[in-house]
Structure 1
Amino acid sequence: MDRNFVDFRLAADDLRAIRFGISPGHELCHAVRVLQRPEGHPMQWGWLRGVRGRLPRDAFELLADVIGVDGYFPDFLTSTPAWDTTPDDEAARLREVSIEQVRFDLHKMVLRSSGARQRRILDLIDDPVPARERLADACLLVWGAALEPVWPQLERILRADIAVRARRIASDGIAATVGALHASVSWSGDAVRVQLRRFSDTIDCRGSGLVLVPSVFGGSGCNVLTEEGVQPTLFYPAQGVTERWARDQVGVADALGALLGETRARILLTAHAARTTSQVAADLGLAISTASHHLAVLRDGGLVTSTRAGARMLHERTPLGEALVGGAG
């Protein structure tokens, strides 16, 4: 049996070329696929029960046409993932994608479709400027109905996965960390190698680097971005995804509250971005002295890090804190 590999070649001495990111757009595209074929995604059934009745029909059908049910989907629907990429970033970026890329990617989908669906994609290509706006609007509508309600849970799982992987790089090295991403991924000399079903390529990442992106909705396999002009990216299955991942936010807060105490749990849950002591106090309705005390306890436990930025002290979750909140979800 033929084996297909994509090799992301890196400079052997530049481990900084590998970094992690988050892609709300990638999650949205795969969520659209899950909704089209729910029987193949049992880990998402808990999420599906809460979303099926509130989907905006026209917006969903437009995305379903463009994304399809398997294989390639347009690269312009996913941004260059970064640690701090937000859904709002994705929407703004999508409206600025070049018309040339929209046409190029949609032509690929024409080759992967037929009948009425193919004709609808051709109509988008014929008038790409309004098509880009329609797609951006559709993404916002479907995101708001399907993923926005569970984004806190999704984001915790993704950040916890990254935190655990980053910690492993420090302890075990890059080769062991890459090899543990998925059974189809390995470290091969100066390259990250990914075995795929239908596609082979060698990508020179020297200068651009490689972004590793965990995914909850991407299923049990890996996906790649390899086109010229697109940031080389490897999407892999996130750790800790169970059929209960989409449970209510209150349940997660209760679980952490039982472990840490309600106030410290609330501080930890909101510490995914760096904030000052005053901001923490104001957000949670605490006295500054009380917030400072709880932050000190979380810092002593290795769950929060505090760094000085000029006259301000900024507090943020550590990798251990990310793993804890991700595990609670």
Structure 2
Amino acid sequence: MDRKFVDFQLAPDDLTAIRFGISPGHELCHAVRAMLRPDEYPLQWGWMRATRGAIPRDDFEVLALLIRDEGYFPDFLTTTPTWELTPEAEAARLRDIDDERFEVDMTKVLVRTDGSRRAAVQRMLEQPDRARAMIAEAWLSVWNSGIAPVWTQLERLLRADIAVRSRRIAESGIGAMIQGLHDRVAWSDGAVRVTMRIWSEVVDCRGSGLVLVPSVMGATGCFVLTEPPAQPTLFYPAQGVTATWARDPADVASALGALLGPARARILLDAHEPRTTSQVARDTALALSTASHHLTVLRDAGLVASARDGARVLHRRTPLGEAMVGAVL
């Protein structure tokens, strides 16, 4: 049998052709899929035990209707890799999906569905305004009950993965980094090649670039977006995900605290966003001079970087700091 590939063709030597992103929608979709097929998502069992009872059943069923337990789900659920998420903003985006995009994606779901599910999808197609509102409400409800409680832990893993991959590009080049994403992903003559089960396709990414998106919930394999208006995107399993990734943040702080000391551990955990020394001092209830001392130690260790922004100096985790936090998770 002929092997199937999706080839994302890039401009030769264009280091800007590849960028990283985080897709909350992708995480949510695979969280739904994990609950539909728990036997195939053992790394999510701890998360499921903690959250299953909190997720409203009716809202879950709306998303499960579209996402199903395998195969295609609407591209509009995952096409906004971003670094900053406001759940309300994402729900608003879903309410405003244009008619053509909604019809195209939902028709793809329709032809892959049968029985009572097919009838329900057909009703959504016939009442797009009502359907978009229903999907947005369900997305927000399932997010707030199932993902929001663990988003801090989940986001740290995603950022740590990106930090490590970015450093690998600097050290060994794009090709070496791509080869390490997954056993189904390879670097071939200036193209990112993904082995597929069903179809082959060549995607010209020159001018648009390719977005690489790590995933914690979607740790079962690789997934691709290839059709406009979505930007070409490859979702791959984040590294370092274990069955205990969803443990309580207090446990993570305790583990880091044993290594760095409680104050420095707290500063490092909170340093995913840039903050001034005064903000660090206030958030940790430390004297300004003490906070400054801890930041100096973390900076000298390569875990925090400081950069001037006008009259302010902002401190944020470095790739090494991201990797350390991710490793503890």
Query: Which residue matches 1:220?
Result: 220
Q: Is the 8 A contact 1:79 1:90 kept in 2?
A: no
Aligned residue runs from structure 1 range 135-146, under 5 A? 135-146=135-146
**1:115 positional shift:** 0.5
| Partner AA of 2:217 in structure 1 | F
Q: Is the 8 A contact 2:219 2:238 kept in 1?
A: no
**1:99 positional shift:** 2.1
Q: Is the 8 A contact 1:24 1:86 kept in 2?
A: no
Aligned residue runs from structure 1 range 1-329, under 5 A? 1-85=1-85, 87-329=87-329
| Partner AA of 1:51 in structure 2 | T
**1:198 positional shift:** 1.0
Unaligned runs of 5+ residues in structure 2 are none
Change (3 A) 1:192 1:154: same
For the residue of structure 2 that corresponds to 1:266, the secondary structure is: helix
Q: CA RMSD in A?
A: 1.2
| Partner AA of 1:301 in structure 2 | A
For the residue of structure 2 that corresponds to 1:315, the secondary structure is: strand
**1:266 positional shift:** 0.6
Alignment TM-score, normalising by the size of structure 1: 0.97
Deviation readout 1:30-76 (Å, 9 max, x if unpaired): 00000011111111111111112111011000000011111111010
Q: For the residues of structure 2 that align with 1:287 and 1:124, how far apart are their CA atoms?
A: 57
Q: Is the 8 A contact 2:41 2:220 kept in 1?
A: no
Deviation readout 1:162-199 (Å, 9 max, x if unpaired): 11101110111100000110001011112111001112
Q: For the residues of structure 1 that align with 2:16 and 2:223, how far apart are their CA atoms?
A: 22
Which sits farther off after the overlay, 39-48 or 113-122?
Answer: 39-48
How high is the sequence identity, in percent, across the aligned residues?
63
| Partner AA of 2:44 in structure 1 | Q
Q: Is the 8 A contact 2:220 2:237 kept in 1?
A: yes
**1:85 positional shift:** 4.4
| Partner AA of 2:37 in structure 1 | R
**1:97 positional shift:** 2.1
Which sits farther off after the overlay, 54-63 or 72-81?
Answer: 72-81
Q: For the residues of structure 2 that align with 1:284 and 1:99, how far apart are their CA atoms?
A: 48
Alignment TM-score, normalising by the size of structure 2: 0.97
Q: Is the 8 A contact 1:24 1:87 kept in 2?
A: no
Q: How many residues align?
A: 329
For the residue of structure 2 that corresponds to 1:5, the secondary structure is: strand
Q: Is the 8 A contact 2:7 2:203 kept in 1?
A: yes
